[in-house]
Amino acid sequence: MAESMPSRAPRRTDKTPPAPAIQVAEKPVNVLVVGVGGQGVIMVSKVLATLCQRQGYQVKQSEVHGMAKRGGSVFSHVRFGETVYSPTIPLGEADVLVALEWAEGLRWLSYLKPETGIFIADTQQIVPPFACRNRQHGAGSGYARETVADVIAQVANCYAINAGQIAQELGNSKAGNTMLLGMMSTTLDFPADDWREAIRMFAPPKAIDINMQAFERGRDWVETHDPADLDPNQGGDQPAPIVEVMHEAEFELPVINRAWCKRCDICVKFCPERCLSLDEEQIAVLHAPEKCTLCRICERLCPDFAIDLKYKH
């Protein structure tokens, strides 16, 4: 079976650098898939593992999703070849690193093979709340400031695009994962139809069409771009865009019940964003709603139950 993995088909024009070649030799091929909770890291690695198995390889997959529910790191090692012993990829041994989130990708870069490793990344950033210096919902952060250009300079092969946004344009941002699978499909020489079939097995039935389109878009990107090309969608020399801050705004702005407020000033003094004050009648008002982070401290500390943040759902 080993011979059936020749280097990737030469689809490129003369201008493009030689394609990265992944061989299944006596050592297994290592693919590391990383992201944060809820993104579909496990789905991506299952598609790959199933596909490899169907190609007749031995596959080992191991995953860690400890803090997944809290927006923490999720990663999955997929190793396949004639014989695979250890389920985990050693440092500096990954042939492909697939990152569903930019900062997670950066975190795992040292796992890539320095000379030949291929980095496939969605440049979207999902920032956990504790990394936000400005606690405002939806605000930016100083999180993962490395630009795509910075990373291109560091790794052998880098394909970084704003897959989430492109998939959004196709109708479902979640299909960004499948776009990355499309990109990956060009680096492992399995028949494209086998990839499509494996994706069909794991994509939600309603989203199969969008996922198929996303898969083609991913393949197209690699075929038409150099690894060093920057995604015009996002200006690759800028820090990656933040698409989502993990904490959702689940509450509405604080509402103050004027009839119950006793002017004690506690909410005013303890609001971390200083957005409350006492008005001319000495009753609490939210004078700077734009600064409110919905932290609910005012609600908790009001001894008079005069502040409510209504739950949205």
Partner 1 sequence: MSEADKQFNIHDYLREYLFPHFLCPGCGHGIALRALLWAIDELDIDKDRLAFVSGIGCSGRLGAYIDANTFHVTHGRPLAFATGLKLARPDLEVIVITGDGDCLAIGGNHLIHACRRNLNITCMMLNNEVYGMTGGQVSPTTSDDRFTTTTPYGNHEPVFDACALAEAAGAGLVGREITLQTPSLKDVLKQGLAHPGFSFIEVMSDCTEVFGRKNDLGSSAEMVLTQKASVRPDFLENAVDQPFRPHQIKTGILASNDRPEYAESYRNHIDAMKRDHGHA
Residue 305 contacts partner 1 per CB under 8 A? yes
Residue 199 contacts ligand SF4 per CB under 6 A? no
Binding ligand SF4 (rule: CB under 6 A), the pick from 59, 89, 151, 276 is 276
Q: How far is the CB of 280 from ligand SF4 (least distance, A)?
A: 14
Q: How far is the CB of 17 from partner 1 (least distance, A)?
A: 48
Q: What residues form DSSP beta bridges with 158?
A: 119
Residue 289: C-alpha distances to residues 120, 136, 140, 271 (Å): 40, 11, 18, 12
Q: How many CB atoms lie within 10 A of CB 161?
A: 29
- Euclidean distance between CA atoms 248 and 254, whole angstroms: 16
Task: For strands 125-127 and 242-245, give the pairing.
Answer: parallel
Q: Which of 128, 143, 138 is nearest to 291 (CA)?
A: 138
Binding ligand SF4 (rule: CB under 6 A), the pick from 70, 133, 145, 262 is 262
Residue 132 contacts ligand SF4 per CB under 6 A? no
Q: Per CB under 6 A, which region of 12-20, 41-49, 113-121, 284-292 contacts ligand SF4?
A: 284-292
- Euclidean distance between CA atoms 120 and 304, whole angstroms: 54
Residue among 92 and 305 whose Cβ is closer to partner 1: 305
**Binding-site partner at residue 269 among ligand SF4, partner 1, none, CB < 5 to 8 Å by type:** partner 1
Residue 127 contacts partner 1 per CB under 8 A? no
Residues in Cβ contact with 130 at an 8 Å cutoff, skipping those fewer than 6 apart: none
Binding ligand SF4 (rule: CB under 6 A), the pick from 266, 277, 279, 290 is 266
With contact defined as beta carbons under 8 Å apart, do 11 and 186 qualify? yes
Size of the site for partner 1 (CB under 8 A): 21
Q: How far is the CB of 295 from ligand SF4 (least distance, A)?
A: 4
Residue 183 Cα to chain centre, angstroms: 15
Q: Which of 291, 207, 234, 112 is nearest to 199 (CA)?
A: 207
Residue 266 contacts partner 1 per CB under 8 A? yes
Size of the site for ligand SF4 (CB under 6 A): 27
Place of tokens 């693919």: 31
Q: Is 233 exposed, middle or buried (0-12, 13-18, 19+ CB in 10 A)?
A: middle
For residue 81, the surrounding DSSP H or E stretch is: strand 73-81
Q: How many CB atoms lie within 10 A of CB 157?
A: 19
Q: How far is the CB of 272 from ligand SF4 (least distance, A)?
A: 6
Residue among 91 and 259 whose Cβ is closer to ligand SF4: 259
Q: Per CB under 8 A, which region of 134-142, 223-231, 236-244, 255-263 contacts partner 1?
A: 255-263
Residue 273 contacts partner 1 per CB under 8 A? no
Binding site for ligand SF4 (CB under 6 A): 254, 256, 261-267, 271-273, 275-276, 284, 286, 292-298, 302, 304, 306-307
Contact residues: partner 1, CB under 8 A: 250, 259-260, 262-266, 268-270, 300-306, 308, 311, 313
